[in-house]
Amino acid sequence: MKRKDFNDFRGKKDDELKSLVDQKKNELVLLSAKVKIGKEKNTSRLKSLKRDIARILTIIREKEIIGKEAK
């Protein structure tokens, strides 16, 4: 995903982001299995998925921190 796509995620709700993380994690598991079997040759996609998950989790954490500061 592109960086500007992640800026759009800041406007989404936590539930939507968490479901997106779950979806990406499932995709990561399937892709890593394909790489181990030898059906998938594009190993850079694994790295990309891991980064996407980390970025989304960071956005979720930022929202939690902002919510606590607002109280």
- How many structural domains comprise the chain? 1
The number of helices, as runs of H, and strands, as runs of E, in the chain is 3, 0
Report the pLDDT value the prediction gives residue 13, as an integer from 0 to 100.
92
Cα–Cα distance for residue pair 55/25, rounded to 1 Å: 13
- Do the beta carbons of residue 16 and residue 56 sit within 8 Å? no
For every one of its 71 residues, what pLDDT tens digit does the chain have, with 9 covering 90 and above? Answer: 777 788 888 889 999 999 999 999 999 999 999 999 999 988 999 999 999 999 999 999 999 999 889 87
Domain span at residue 32? 3-70
CATH number for the domain spanning 45: value is 1.10.287
- For residue 6, the tally of other CB atoms under 10 A from its CB is 14
38 backbone φψ class: left, alpha, beta (φ>0; ψ -120 to 50): left
pLDDT of residue 20: 96
The pLDDT, as a whole number, for residue 70 is: 86
